[in-house]
Amino acid sequence: MQIILNGEPHPLEGDYTLLALLETLEVEKEHTALMLNGAVIPATSWHKHILKENDEVEIMVFVGGG
Amino acid sequence: MINSLPNWLDPTPWIEHSQSTDLQAIKNAIYSDHPGERELALMLSPAARPLLETMAQRAQAITRRHFGRTIALYTPLYLSNYCNGGCLYCGIAADRRAIRAVLNVEQLDRELDAITQAGLDEVVLLTGERMPEADTSYIREAIERASQRLNNINIEVFPMEESEYRSLAEAGCTGVTLYQETYDPIVYEQMHRWGDKRDFESRLDAPHRALQGGLRTVGLGVLLGLADPSADLIALYRHATHLLKTYWQAGVTLSFPRIKPQMGGFQALHPVDESMLAQAIFALRICLPAVPLLLSTREAEAVRNGLAGIGVSKMSVASKTTVGGYSDTAEASTEQFSISDERSIDAFCAMLREKGLEPVFKNYDAIYREPTVYATRS
Amino acid sequence: MNDPLTFQNETLHSRLLIGTGKFANVETMIAAVKASGTDLVTVALRRFNKAQAEDDLYGPLAQLEKVKLMPNTSGAMNAKEAIRAAMLGRELSKSRFIKLEIHPNPHHLLPDPIETYEAAIELAKQDFLVLPYIPADPVLAKRLEDVGCAAVMPLGAAIGTGKGLSTAEMIRIIIRDTQVPVIVDAGLRAPSEAAQALEMGCEAVLVNSAIAAAEDPEAMAAAFKTGVESGRAAWKAGLMPTSEAAVASSPLTSFLSRDD
């Protein structure tokens, strides 16, 4: 299936939770905040959300800013 | 009696400065860019007396910047002098032998017509303490009748509840005047011998209730001479700044007449001479550049002439402190205090114009006005 | 010197807040942050990009123990986006601080007062410590105080312009009338300007471009540190008044020489 990850199509094989997705991307989990279809998902709930076709996931990190 | 003044009001931390003899500190205070309580106290010190002319110069410059060369005019209208209060210093206290009167509708209309014909547009409606003869609904009706003719209607009556103030605002009232008289709780208790007025805290809180109720302006004041004038003036300043910060869309005016002898022979404990009155006006003008300062007809002609435009920005004119005094058709009644400046409107305005000041009879029209709604504050 | 700046229950010991944008690299930014002595820095949120993993500041900033992170909402074009950005930021920073900034026009980056006000209402309800970046408008400042912002941050000049305290007179009015801390944010170029802001009575300043774009950012950060400390000390010491020469030609108080 396909999800939209940070604005780009991203293929996925099999069932993924948000948590599993992050682990495959080798992202520092503590450094990221996630949105699923426009809603902020707290880290404690990442394992609860199973991704579906066309879900929009945004993975945000802190960068420099004024 | 309340134990101590709330922190936002208490003048105690600055009272020592009002006894300062440090002339340089006083000069710095007069010229301060951001004067506060400390500068006010220093300017009220007896040691500032030789610098009165300097203070006058700065007060005049500031008055001109914020008020131009204008004096706003208003006149008091006594609706009733019935009173069950016990103010030691007042000619119409319950135990004074006073002729009591209250205006009926016809008399009120005649008074209002006389005021309107004189060209005035701002009136202060006065009563004594809360009485059946002149209760809130009576006052509300008086406001309704006044607002048919005039645009600025102020009341100087008894402390009310927020809902009462809201009702009066809806009727066309634009401001409430309520002097704390003195911010010294001990003196306050001695002066107010019985009745509702003994409640210092409720009176102190009334301007808040008035502004929450949608009135635009509150007039604060003290009677200079009841207690230590410097302490009372610093507390008055703090009361004003507290209200201005909390109700940032509101107007605040200040008035601090000197207590004068009345029929009962009351003598002030801390008499204030003319120079001290002038000093107080200049100091408050410097510390509150944009707040109107009022001077009533209690003061003599020469003092009123001298202070107009130098700190003072608003003055009562052709005042009568009897009930029904304007149209000469009501029965005689006892006056609340004696008038010293008895000049007619024309004579008073001629004096102002000679001084290069323009008398302002009318400020804003009331057509588009609605009571103000504030964010609810704790 | 014990002169902390308190927002509700959060306390800062430095009155210099640092923005972390525009630095050449993370090492320079960290060195500047350290030299500034700050205990609150702003960060922005951006999509994770594996190719630019070094942009992720969380790790480097977490090593600066006493430094708190304040996410900003830059990139948001309206209140709804800013609220969402704030929620995301809070997930990471675990702190209540949020710098609310909504600047839809990329040419001048001036803040949108209407969207900012709308966002502030919601964010204050959500228990954020809202520090809104605003035009130097005294009435807007009171409105934001009314809806529960923890401070107001009027701009000295547009972001990155380095035009200093071009809004000084308005900032003076805001300081006089507002009951929450006033923090000048944007437009400062020199430590003397930061000092001036503190001398006027501002509680703190937020500086980014002036440090990041300096020849030697670490040294400039140190210079801003002393500038802020000096300005604050001067304000507490009580500056002498500017004089106002009297102009009346004849005495005004001669009417008082009569006996009372």
Best probe of the A interface among C17, C47, C54, C161, by most A CBs < 10 A, is: C47
Out of A8-12, B124-128, B317-321, C74-78, which region has the weakest mean confidence (pLDDT)? B317-321
Shortest distance, CA C253 to any CA of chain A (angstroms): 56
Which residue ranges make up each domain of chain C? 5-237
Q: What local confidence, expressed as pLDDT, does residue C146 receive?
A: 95
SS3 B153: strand
> H-type helices in chain B, by residue range?
12-15, 23-30, 37-43, 52-67, 105-117, 136-147, 162-171, 185-191, 200-212, 229-246, 274-287, 301-307, 345-354
ipTM metric: 0.87
Q: What local confidence, expressed as pLDDT, does residue B339 receive?
A: 77
Q: Known catalytic residue: C99?
A: yes
Which residue ranges make up each domain of chain A? 2-61
pLDDT tens column, B296-313? 988 989 999 999 999 999
At residue C49, does pLDDT exceed 90? no
pTM of the model: 0.82
Closest CA to C40 of C196, C228, C173, C216: C228
Interacting residues of B340 by C-beta distance below 8 A, sequence separation 6+? B260, B297, B298, B299, B300, B301
Q: What local confidence, expressed as pLDDT, does residue B364 receive?
A: 74
- Contact residues, chain C, for B275 at CB < 8 Å: 253, 256, 260
**CATH superfamily for domain C5-237:** Aldolase class I (3.20.20.70)
Q: What local confidence, expressed as pLDDT, does residue B377 receive?
A: 45
Q: What local confidence, expressed as pLDDT, does residue A16 receive?
A: 92
Of B92 and B322, which is predicted with more confidence? B92
Nearest CA in chain A to C209: A66
Read off the pLDDT of each residue in C131-136 and give the average, rounded to a whole number.
97
- C17-32 burial: b if 16+ Cβ within 10 Å, else e: bbbbbbbeebebbbbb
- A40 to chain C, any CB pair closer than 8 A? The answer is yes
Shortest distance, CA B227 to any CA of chain C (angstroms): 20
Q: How many CA atoms lie within 13 A of B77 on its CB side?
A: 33
User: Looking at the partner chain, which of C19, C57, C209 has a beta carbon nearest the beta carbon of A62?
Assistant: C57
Nearest CA in chain B to C177: B245
Q: Do C241 and B52 touch (CB under 8 A)?
A: no
pLDDT bin (cut points 50, 70, 90) of residue B342 is: confident
At residue B376, does pLDDT exceed 60? no
pLDDT bin (cut points 50, 70, 90) of residue C8 is: confident
> H-type helices in chain A, by residue range?
18-24
At residue C260, does pLDDT exceed 50? no
At residue C187, does pLDDT exceed 80? yes
In whole angstroms, give the CA distance from residue B180 to residue B223: 8
In whole angstroms, give the CA distance from residue B363 to residue B153: 12
Shortest distance, CA A7 to any CA of chain C (angstroms): 9
- C51 to chain B, any CB pair closer than 8 A? The answer is no
Shortest distance, CA A18 to any CA of chain C (angstroms): 15
Residue B301 one-letter amino acid: E
Length of chain C: 260
At residue B293, does pLDDT exceed 90? yes
Q: Is the separation of the CB atoms in B311 and B292 below 8 Å?
A: no
SS3 B307: helix
In whole angstroms, give the CA distance from residue C196 to residue C157: 14
Nearest CA in chain B to C147: B375
Which 221-250 residues of chain C touch chain B by CB within 8 A? Answer: 239-244, 246-248
Shortest distance, CA C27 to any CA of chain B (angstroms): 44
Q: What local confidence, expressed as pLDDT, does residue B115 receive?
A: 93
Which residue ranges make up each domain of chain B? 63-364
Q: Is the separation of the CB atoms in B303 and B274 below 8 Å?
A: yes
pLDDT tens column, C94-131? 899 999 999 998 888 999 999 999 999 999 999 999 99
Q: What is the 3-state secondary structure (H, E, C) of chain C?
A: CCCCEEECCEEECCCEEEECCCCCCHHHHHHHHHHHCCCEEEEEEEECCHHHHHHCCHHHHHCCCCCEEEEECCCCCCHHHHHHHHHHHHHHHCCCEEEECCCCCCCCCCCCHHHHHHHHHHHHHCCCEEEEEECCCHHHHHHHHHCCCCCEEECCCCCCCCCCCCCHHHHHHHHHHCCCCEEEECCCCCHHHHHHHHHHCCCEEEECHHHHCCCCHHHHHHHHHHHHHHHHHHHHHCCCCCCCCCCCCCCCCHHHHCCC
In whole angstroms, give the CA distance from residue B237 to residue C212: 46
Fold category of A2-61 in CATH: Ubiquitin-like (UB roll) (3.10.20)
Length of chain A: 66
Interacting residues of B126 by C-beta distance below 8 A, sequence separation 6+? B76, B77, B78, B79, B155, B156, B157, B336
Q: What local confidence, expressed as pLDDT, does residue B330 receive?
A: 53
- Contact residues, chain C, for B225 at CB < 8 Å: none
- C46 to chain A, any CB pair closer than 8 A? The answer is yes
pLDDT bin (cut points 50, 70, 90) of residue B261 is: low
Out of B16-20, B149-153, B325-329, C166-170, which region has the weakest mean confidence (pLDDT)? B325-329
Q: Do C55 and A61 touch (CB under 8 A)?
A: yes
Catalytic residue among C22, C80, C99, C142: C99
Instruction: Pick B63-364's CATH classification: 1.10.8.620, 3.20.20.70, 3.40.50.2300, 1.10.3720.10.
Output: 3.20.20.70
pLDDT bin (cut points 50, 70, 90) of residue B90 is: confident
Q: What local confidence, expressed as pLDDT, does residue B136 receive?
A: 97
- Contact residues, chain A, for C88 at CB < 8 Å: 33, 35, 40, 60
Helix (H) or strand (E) holding B124: strand B122-126
Q: Is the separation of the CB atoms in C59 and A29 below 8 Å?
A: no
Interacting residues of C8 by C-beta distance below 8 A, sequence separation 6+? C129, C150
- Contact residues, chain A, for C42 at CB < 8 Å: 65-66
pLDDT tens column, B156-186? 999 999 999 999 999 999 999 999 999 999 9
- C23 to chain A, any CB pair closer than 8 A? The answer is yes
SS3 B87: strand
User: Looking at the partner chain, which of C59, C72, C88 has a beta carbon nearest the beta carbon of A65?
Assistant: C72
Please name the chains neighbouring B, where neighbouring means 3+ C-beta pairs under 8 angstroms: C
The DSSP code for B290 is: T
- Contact residues, chain B, for C121 at CB < 8 Å: none
In whole angstroms, give the CA distance from residue C210 to residue C156: 13
The DSSP code for B374 is: P
Shortest distance, CA B49 to any CA of chain C (angstroms): 11
At residue B331, does pLDDT exceed 70? no
In whole angstroms, give the CA distance from residue B246 to residue B268: 33
Read off the pLDDT of each residue in C27-55 and give the average, rounded to a whole number.
91
pLDDT bin (cut points 50, 70, 90) of residue B6 is: very high
DSSP letter string, B217-281: EEEEEB-BTSS-HHHHHHHHHHHHHHHHHHSTT-EEEEE-PBP---TT----SS---HHHHHHHH
Closest CA to B193 of B95, B338, B81: B95
Pairing of strands B152-156, B122-126: parallel
Read off the pLDDT of each residue in B270-291 and give the average, rounded to a whole number.
96
Out of B82-86, B265-269, B370-374, which region has the weakest mean confidence (pLDDT)? B370-374
In whole angstroms, give the CA distance from residue B39 to residue B17: 8
Q: How many CA atoms lie within 13 A of C193 on its CB side?
A: 23
Q: In the structure, do chain B and chain A come into contact, i.e. share 3 or more CB pairs under 8 Å? A: no
Q: What percent of chain B has pLDDT over 90?
A: 77
- C5 to chain A, any CB pair closer than 8 A? The answer is no
- Contact residues, chain A, for C36 at CB < 8 Å: none
